[in-house]
Chains A and B, each alone.
Chain A
Amino acid sequence: MTAAPAWETVIGLEVHCELATATKLFCGCPNAFGDEPNTNVCPVCLGLPGSLPVINRRAVELAMTVGTALRCEVRPSIFHRKNYFYPDMPKDYQVSQYDQPINVGGHLDLPDGTRIGVTRAHMEEDTGKTTHVGESGRIHGADYALVDYNRAGVPLVEIVSEPDIRSADDARAYVNELRAILVAIGASDARMEEGSLRIDANVSVRPAGSPTLGTRAEIKNLNSVRSLGRAVDYEVRRQIGLLEAGEKVVQETRHWNEDAGRTSSMRSKEEAYDYRYFPEPDLVPLEPSGEWRDAVAAGLPPLPADRRRSLAAAAGVAADDKAVATVVALGLDDLVTAAVADGADARLALNRAANEVAAAHVAASDVDASAFTAVVRMEGDGRLTSTQAKQVLAEVLAGGGDPAAIARGRGFEALGADALSGVVDQVVADHPGEWARFRAGEAKLAGFFVGQVMAATKGQADGKAVTARLRELAAGG
């Protein structure tokens, strides 16, 4: 195979998240998901003639919190009208922010330490929801459409990343980390399946080492983090294919088709829509005071990156340790930290939390912390083998109970050190020939002896302890 020229993937993500306020951005209608159509509407969010917007203080506070969590500068800002016609737009303009947004210039660090720049995180109102009715239920071939304005006016923050993302994996990691931050600060449920988190991806490629950006395509209709990954992979392959064939990538918007596993062209972004932005005359500027900004910063809870650092320090491992990332993502860091503080082995505690507790799919709050600590300590002491520890833990997570009692009930308690030594000594004495060969240097006979000890103890011996005793005997004579 000839080596193809190396290509670099360049990705920027635009993430819209619905803020978890009680009411909409400009009116007192409930900000709720799943209610009967057009029951959460009023003159303002329906854009009825004569209606006027009034900004929701909590939405501003959450927007500032998002910006602060993403290390942005929180600035005085104004709203602009973005003018375009579409049935889900009650006023046929969207009140958004344009060149004076509330948050600028931040960043987000992935668990592995990669820093992704955040250009801006601005406020805007959401649109209503359109359902196409017709043969296939999709736009092409539809007979008519139905519109529900319950969602119109829900407060959004649009978070725009710098084109710093270099792979589909990192794109997914960015979204997962962003989600975790948004949930940790209480700004949003950030559920893609409910539409409270929406992603558009801007994807381009360029020859590795090139300083200029390639032509990008914008991918829409990404309904899950998995789709994001698949779509990015597809689009990168498509663009590389075009460029290697001597063709050009067209700057356009493309629609991700989950079933077909491909993107298809929607319209050319070159005829950039003329939104005729101008400052929203029905609103006055936002100038959050220093006190307010300070209060927001002081009120930030520990963010996932902070929690990873704390956990890594408590466990004495590197901050980018994979188990650390998993444990924090699952909210199990307090569990592990407490176990370590109580004398449990850090590595064991991390692994059991990242693997076994994770696999049990229980909420962190439902895990019996002292039981968890007890199991990990028993494994650490050698009173339980790994296999036994996992089984005891599974039972604790499934139905609770005292680990020591569970272990005894299953006959699990590994033999105490003295009893074990006695068994090993007996087996050695029973097999003088093998013992002589082992002492002479046939190291793999250790396995033979371990097997004999296991048979004699009905599997209750800890393999490592047996091996240790064998070495002791071999050294001591």
Chain B
Amino acid sequence: MTALEIAADVRAGRRSARSVVEAHLEAIAAREPELHAFNLVLHADALGEADVIDRRVAAGDDPGPLAGVPVAVKDNLATRGIPTTCGSRILNGWRPPYDATVVIRLRAAGAVVIGKTNMDEFAMGSSTENSAFGPTRNPHDPSRVPGGSSGGSAAAVAAGFAPLALGSDTGGSIRQPAALCGVVGMKPTYGVVSRYGLVAFASSLDQIGPFAATVADAAALLEAIGGHDPLDSTSIAGPPPRVSGVLGDGVEGLRVGVVRELTGGLDPDVSARLVEAAAALAGEGAKVDEASVPSVGLGLSAYYLIATAEASSNLARYDGVRYGLRVDADDVTAMYGATRAAGFGAEVKRRIMLGTYALSAGYYDAYYGQAQRVRTLLIRDFEAAYAQFDLLLSATSPTTAFPLGAKSDDPLAMYLSDVCTIPSNLAGHPAVSVPFGTGDGGMPVGIQLYAPALGEPTLFRAAAALERSAPR
């Protein structure tokens, strides 16, 4: 059942929220030991929340548009009193004394938080193999990765553990696992969803977004969590984007540009699906042509300089003083060094080092400063492209899900898998991955749509059309 169907039934009293949660807990019990989508399943809490929903329905209240719907929440979102690990040892069981704004809004919409999902440590990775608690496996083929860093959330939806999940996307961490797991995953315009309570990786790139099995469900989740938050200075004024209402509008007359610079370097099966997706949209009445975003190639390097620089600063606070892991030492500086060495995994250390170097005296202009200028060039290229097109199109990931361990020894190879998703983060634009057929070996392929800032309505219109025309 879709989230919308569940919510309709629960609100109408046709089905209890408790039965919904129980059913999902059973699904989790069946496959979770194999897949490890969760770091924590909230059995008792979720049933408790479900009971509250049921009492409200019985009293004639409307609990909200997501009434009774279980939602899996990525483990870098603060949940009050519930351990929030960020996939890292360094938080060591830390229980936040507050809820992230999106979590508050989820509950206000009647949703039930069913668990905290596994992720690459501090959202740094594209496979969820960098979790301190072991990898998550792809439900379509458990010998393969689910993608990352929101691999747990993507797998949870793909495996039927929850109809909805929240993830975070800094360089593709929602869209890429969505593609690899065959679900819908979307990154909003920067500022549309509050980051208050999202443990920061790269502050100017991070966004929280929805995972769902259908475009309509993803739209409902986005509307529930989006909109201005006074606790986030980078939050755009105004209500969340109106996307549910436009899903049936189709793509007649919309101009869609296939990003030329991202058509190379794809696995043949992915490339084939991209061509078919373009054709499918054309068949629905869109005007499809080739678009150019020349700076896209530089995006990867610029991203790795900006993201790691911001991360090196954001992760400085994990120092053993106020919460989390502490490795004792004779003096505080030694304590810092020992704590952070023991608490962070290799990928996190690598990125902290890279970011620190990029900001350090003598190198700022050459690296971080330059990267911020590349960002400007990319934004200008997008502006030029959007003068001719309403939407852009590309693959989400150059490959389908790869085997566990295949890329984990080569950080550079892992970084290269983000090439299609990174540009939207740098520009702050919305983008969505929609499942579109399968590749060799039957693994899912995701196709990505891009829109300009605040173009969510157009984006969702096209995503719904793409979904309707996807190969079964």
| Chains A, B in direct contact (C-beta < 8 Å) | yes
As a 0/1 sequence over residues 46 to 58 of chain A, the CB contacts with chain B under 8 angstroms (1 = contact) are 1111111111000
A274 touches which of B76, B200, B360 (Cβ 8 Å) = B360
Is A145 close to B, CB under 8 A? yes
Closest to B324 in A: A49
B232 touches which of A48, A52, A92, A277 (Cβ 8 Å) = A52
8 A Cβ contacts from A272-312 to B: 274, 276-278, 281-284
Is A400 close to B, CB under 8 A? no
A49 touches which of B96, B233, B310 (Cβ 8 Å) = B96
Q: How far is the CA of A90 from the CA of B321 in the complex (A)?
A: 9
B197 to chain A, nearest CB (A): 4
Q: Report yes or no: A43 in contact with B317, Cβ–Cβ below 8 A.
A: no
8 A Cβ contacts from A29-53 to B: 43, 46-53
8 A Cβ contacts from A327-342 to B: none
Is B264 close to A, CB under 8 A? no
| Chain B hits for A278, CB < 8 A | 309-310, 313, 359, 364, 368
Is A448 close to B, CB under 8 A? no
Q: Report yes or no: B359 in contact with A145, Cβ–Cβ below 8 A.
A: no
| Chain B hits for A91, CB < 8 A | 316-317
Q: Report yes or no: B199 in contact with A49, Cβ–Cβ below 8 A.
A: yes
Is A87 close to B, CB under 8 A? yes
8 A Cβ contacts from B40-81 to A: 76-78
Q: Report yes or no: A85 in contact with B336, Cβ–Cβ below 8 A.
A: yes
Is B195 close to A, CB under 8 A? yes
Is B156 close to A, CB under 8 A? no
| Chain A hits for B86, CB < 8 A | 49
Q: Report yes or no: B360 in contact with A52, Cβ–Cβ below 8 A.
A: no
| Chain B hits for A81, CB < 8 A | 313
Q: Report yes or no: B233 in contact with A284, Cβ–Cβ below 8 A.
A: yes
8 A Cβ contacts from A70-96 to B: 81, 83, 85, 87, 90-93
Is A147 close to B, CB under 8 A? yes
Q: Report yes or no: A85 in contact with B310, Cβ–Cβ below 8 A.
A: no
| Chain A hits for B96, CB < 8 A | 43, 48-50
Q: Report yes or no: B322 in contact with A49, Cβ–Cβ below 8 A.
A: no
| Chain A hits for B309, CB < 8 A | 278
Q: Report yes or no: B310 in contact with A281, Cβ–Cβ below 8 A.
A: yes
8 A Cβ contacts from B302-330 to A: 309-310, 312-313, 316-317, 319, 321-323
Q: Report yes or no: A90 in contact with B313, Cβ–Cβ below 8 A.
A: no
* Known pairs A55-B233, A85-B333; A48 contacts B316 (CB<8 A): no
B324 to chain A, nearest CB (A): 9
8 A Cβ contacts from A179-193 to B: none
Main secondary structure, interface of B, reads loop
8 A Cβ contacts from B259-315 to A: 309-310, 312-313
* Known pairs A43-B98, A145-B332, A278-B309; A85 contacts B200 (CB<8 A): no
Q: Report yes or no: B234 in contact with A284, Cβ–Cβ below 8 A.
A: yes
Q: How far is the CA of A147 from the CA of B313 in the complex (A)?
A: 21
* Known pairs A49-B78, A50-B198, A90-B322; A276 contacts B359 (CB<8 A): yes
Q: Report yes or no: B196 in contact with A50, Cβ–Cβ below 8 A.
A: yes
Main secondary structure, interface of A, reads loop
Q: How far is the CA of A284 from the CA of B203 in the complex (A)?
A: 12
A285 to chain B, nearest CB (A): 11
Q: Report yes or no: B199 in contact with A50, Cβ–Cβ below 8 A.
A: yes
Closest to A44 in B: B231
As a 0/1 sequence over residues 176 to 204 of chain B, the CB contacts with chain A under 8 angstroms (1 = contact) are 00000000000000000001111110111
* Known pairs A50-B100, A145-B332, A282-B233; A90 contacts B317 (CB<8 A): yes
8 A Cβ contacts from A241-285 to B: 274, 276-278, 281-284
* Known pairs A48-B96, A54-B231, A278-B364; A92 contacts B319 (CB<8 A): yes
| Chain B hits for A147, CB < 8 A | 321
Closest to B198 in A: A50
Is B230 close to A, CB under 8 A? yes
Q: Which of A49, A51, A276, A277 has the most C-beta atoms of chain B within 10 angstroms of its own C-beta?
A: A49
Closest to B309 in A: A278
B235 to chain A, nearest CB (A): 9
Q: Report yes or no: A43 in contact with B97, Cβ–Cβ below 8 A.
A: yes
Q: How far is the CA of A48 from the CA of B196 in the complex (A)?
A: 11
* Known pairs A274-B360, A278-B364; A92 contacts B317 (CB<8 A): yes
* Known pairs A48-B96, A85-B316, A92-B316; A276 contacts B322 (CB<8 A): no
Is B361 close to A, CB under 8 A? yes
Q: How far is the CA of A54 from the CA of B200 in the complex (A)?
A: 16
* Known pairs A87-B332, A93-B313, A281-B203; A48 contacts B98 (CB<8 A): yes
Q: How far is the CA of A55 from the CA of B231 in the complex (A)?
A: 10
Q: Report yes or no: A48 in contact with B233, Cβ–Cβ below 8 A.
A: no
Q: Report yes or no: B196 in contact with A51, Cβ–Cβ below 8 A.
A: yes
Q: Which of B198, B199, B321, B336 has the most C-beta atoms of chain A within 10 angstroms of its own C-beta?
A: B321
Q: How far is the CA of A91 from the CA of B76 in the complex (A)?
A: 17
B40 to chain A, nearest CB (A): 16
| Chain A hits for B195, CB < 8 A | 50, 52
Q: How far is the CA of A53 from the CA of B204 in the complex (A)?
A: 14
| Chain B hits for A277, CB < 8 A | 364
As a 0/1 sequence over residues 359 to 403 of chain B, the CB contacts with chain A under 8 angstroms (1 = contact) are 111001000100000000000000000000000000000000000
B89 to chain A, nearest CB (A): 14
Q: Which of A48, A147, A283 has the most C-beta atoms of chain B within 10 angstroms of its own C-beta?
A: A48
* Known pairs A50-B196, A92-B317; A276 contacts B356 (CB<8 A): yes
Is B158 close to A, CB under 8 A? no
Q: How far is the CA of A46 from the CA of B322 in the complex (A)?
A: 8
| Chain A hits for B77, CB < 8 A | 50
* Known pairs A54-B231, A90-B322; A49 contacts B203 (CB<8 A): no
8 A Cβ contacts from B439-470 to A: none
Closest to B310 in A: A281
Q: Which of B77, B203, B356, B368 has the most C-beta atoms of chain A within 10 angstroms of its own C-beta?
A: B203
Is B91 close to A, CB under 8 A? yes
Is B84 close to A, CB under 8 A? yes
| Chain A hits for B364, CB < 8 A | 276-278
| Chain A hits for B319, CB < 8 A | 85, 92
Q: Report yes or no: B204 in contact with A52, Cβ–Cβ below 8 A.
A: no
As a 0/1 sequence over residues 404 to 445 of chain B, the CB contacts with chain A under 8 angstroms (1 = contact) are 000000000000000000000000000000000000000000
| Chain A hits for B97, CB < 8 A | 43, 48
Given contacts A276-B313, A278-B359, A283-B234, 10 further A-B contacts (CB under 8 A): A48-B78, A49-B200, A50-B199, A51-B196, A52-B195, A52-B196, A54-B230, A92-B319, A281-B202, A282-B233
Report, nearest first, the 9 A-B pairs whose CB atoms are least far apart.
Answer: A92-B316, A281-B203, A276-B359, A281-B204, A49-B199, A50-B197, A50-B78, A274-B361, A91-B317
20 pairs of residues in contact across A and B, judged by CB atoms under 8 Å: A43-B96, A43-B97, A49-B86, A49-B91, A49-B199, A49-B317, A50-B76, A50-B77, A50-B96, A50-B98, A52-B234, A54-B232, A81-B313, A83-B359, A87-B332, A91-B317, A274-B361, A278-B309, A281-B310, A283-B234
* Residues of A bordering B, CB below 8 Å: 43, 46-55, 81, 83, 85, 87, 90-93, 145, 147, 274, 276-278, 281-284
* Residues of B bordering A, CB below 8 Å: 76-78, 84, 86, 91, 94, 96-98, 100, 195-200, 202-204, 230-234, 309-310, 312-313, 316-317, 319, 321-323, 332-333, 336, 356, 359-361, 364, 368
